[in-house]
């Protein structure tokens, strides 16, 4: 069985592309990277490449953006290609089968902008201004 479940945050907005399918219709493809926190004493995160097709890709195109916390299920898929330098490159992606938000909009609180810092101006400083 090849089943993967991940919870993480998008590292940047998804890369959305469209390709012509076998039946001549355009198919949506979304690629994004999830930053998934590690457990235990190994602090840090793993950055997992994900690819979605069809409805899952359309969902990503419409709703996902950098920082979105997401839970996905899918399968691991490996592959390889030869780059422009003639070297063989091996890839590992998660093919997304299902995805759902891990936070509601009201859980995501935007940080208020910090108030501008006020300067202490001595009372007699206004006396030297030419327009006062």
Higher pLDDT among residues 126 and 48, named by residue = 48
Q: How far apart are CA 25 and CA 98, in angstroms?
A: 22
Q: Would you say residue 112 lies in a domain? A: no
Q: How far apart are CA 108 and CA 101, in angstroms?
A: 11
Q: Would you say residue 122 lies in a domain? A: no
Residue range 64-93, pLDDT digits in tens: 999 999 999 999 999 999 999 999 999 999
Q: Would you say residue 49 lies in a domain? A: yes
Residue 12 lies in domain: 4-103
Residue range 14-41, pLDDT digits in tens: 999 999 877 778 899 999 999 999 887 7
Q: What's the total number of domains in the chain?
A: 1
Domain harbouring 31, CATH code? 2.40.50.140
Return the pLDDT at 110: 54
**Mean of all residue pLDDT scores within the chain:** 85
Q: How far apart are CA 53 and CA 115, in angstroms?
A: 44
């Amino acid at each position: 069985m090849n089943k993967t479940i991940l919870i993480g945050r998008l590292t940047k907005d998804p890369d959305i592309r469209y390709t012509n399918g076998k039946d001549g219709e355009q198919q949506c493809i979304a690629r994004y990277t999830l930053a998934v926190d590690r457990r235990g004493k190994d602090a840090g995160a793993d950055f997992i490449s994900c690819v979605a097709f069809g409805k899952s890709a359309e969902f990503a195109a419409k709703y996902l953006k950098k920082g979105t916390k997401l839970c996905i299920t899918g399968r691991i898929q490996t592959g390889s290609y030869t780059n422009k330098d003639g070297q063989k490159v091996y890839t590992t992606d998660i093919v997304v089968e299902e995805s759902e938000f891990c936070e509601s909009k009201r859980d995501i609180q935007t940080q208020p902008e910090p108030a501008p810092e006020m300067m202490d101006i001595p009372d007699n400083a206004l006396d030297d201004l030419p327009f006062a």
